[in-house]
Chains A and B, each alone.
Chain A
Amino acid sequence: MSEATPEQAPTPPPDAPRPPASLAELFWGFTTIGARAFGGVLPWAHRVMVEERRWLAPADFAEVVALCQFLPGPNIGNASIVLGRRWFGLAGAATAFFGLMALPFIWVFALALLYADWAAHPVVRAVVTGVGIAGGGLFVGTALKLAKPLFSKPCGIGLAAATFGVIAIERVSLFAVLPVAALLAWFAARRNLL
């Protein structure tokens, strides 16, 4: 479908990313992200904003996601606020966030009510519990992917393992662990151990 590009001319105008033209476009874009996001929002956010609607260049998308990954809160929820603000200020942030959440909110309750009717059934309960456990496995898989830059850094692996141990096994409160872990990580990063 791409016509032969004669030169390596930097992105011709028709292909250049173009921010949403109106609040309505912003809302519907984020609605289509939320509504289809089976098994994780991030891949769908990329698909809609970079590939389908071309609001952002791939590098811009990666940068916003990196920012939102180290901010607290839901990653793509944060991204909707950061991008909505960039494009339309406060109205944009609110529009993007509610666009993202509206349909999934309805669907999750529809599913929960349906499940409440069937929860007494042992097979249904076993299936749902199995899904939840596999979901835990997805978390671990995601963590391993994020850990790639740490593989050559024993200090980073040690810190990650210690954080895991005190929270998951010792059940120490996150509020006690976060300040200590963040402080240790900050010093390690300053000394180029991370």
Chain B
Amino acid sequence: MILEIAFYFALLSIVSVGGIPSVMPEMQRIVVDVHGWMSAAEFTQLFAVAQAAPGPNVLVTALLGWKIAGFTGALVALAAFCGPAGALAWWAGGLWDRMRDAPWRKTVQRALVPVTVGFICAGGYVLATPAGLDWRSALIAAAGAALMVSTRLNPLWILAGGGLLGAALL
């Protein structure tokens, strides 16, 4: 199981353009649908804990690993998710400093915008529908998204509001 975690999270690491939000649907598909290591509700709750704690949201991988295989699972999942991408960042950082004005760089940057937007939206959708699509979760998520776009409110207040709405509606 530890090996499976290492394998999947390392694979996800390489395709996680846009960070954790982009791979959230695939992570949930593997952890919940394919292997049944936890329920969709547990997945969303672990994510919520990781969001509520300060720090990079990549730490949700440690919580997922912990839920699946204890503390070793946590370290393996986090290392597997950060390792390959970190190695790539190391290499790309050097390349970037050398190739400041290469035209292909601009093309890649423009090409990745719509793909990343689609990935991140899908991640949001998956997290916002732990029990399938229903009006209450849609309302909470839509309110959060609207506040995020239209105000400069600290995201923490939006999450707190989501918690209150959750207590009232769910």
Contact present for B62 and A141 (CB under 8 Å) = no
Tell me the B112-170 residues at the A interface (CB within 8 Å): 112-130, 137, 140-149, 154-156, 158-167, 169-170
Interface of A is mostly: helix
- B side interface size, CB within 8 A: 103
The answer on a CB contact under 8 Å between A126 and B167 is: yes
Sorted nearest first, the 8 A-B pairs with minimum C-beta distance are A130-B166, A104-B55, A134-B162, A137-B144, A73-B85, A163-B118, A141-B148, A136-B128
Closest chain A residue to B126 by CB distance? Answer: A168
Chain B residues packing against A (C-beta within 8 Å)? 11-26, 29, 33, 41, 44-59, 62-63, 66, 74, 78, 81-82, 84-86, 88-90, 92-94, 96-97, 107-130, 137, 140-149, 154-156, 158-167, 169-170
- Check if B127 sits within 8 Å of A133, measured CB to CB: yes
26 contacts between A and B (CB under 8 A): A36-B54, A71-B89, A72-B85, A73-B13, A73-B81, A76-B56, A81-B89, A82-B93, A101-B55, A107-B55, A108-B59, A109-B74, A130-B165, A131-B51, A138-B145, A138-B155, A139-B124, A143-B21, A146-B113, A146-B117, A147-B113, A150-B113, A163-B118, A167-B25, A175-B15, A194-B110
For residue A100, give the distance in angstroms from its CB to the closest CB of chain B. Answer: 7
CB–CB B137/A37 < 8 A: no
| Given A171-B29, A194-B111; A77-B125 close (CB under 8 Å) | no
| Closest chain B CB from A44 CB (angstroms) | 8
Please report the number of residue pairs spanning A and B whose Cβ atoms sit closer than 8 angstroms. Answer: 366
Give A181 to B106 CA distance when docked, in angstroms: 17
User: In the complex, how many angstroms separate the beta carbon of A79 from the nearest chain B beta carbon?
Assistant: 8
Count of chain A residues near B, Cβ 8 A: 91
A170-194 residues at the B interface, CB under 8 angstroms: 171, 173-175, 178, 181-182, 185-186, 188-190, 194
Q: Is there a chain B Cβ closer than 8 Å to A66's Cβ? A: yes
A64 → chain B closest CB, angstroms = 8
Q: What A residues does B11 contact at CB under 8 A?
A: 175
> Could you list which residues of chain A lie within 8 angstroms of chain B, going by C-beta atoms?
34-41, 66-78, 81-82, 85-86, 93, 97, 100-101, 103-105, 107-112, 115, 119, 123, 125-147, 149-150, 155-157, 159-164, 167-169, 171, 173-175, 178, 181-182, 185-186, 188-190, 194
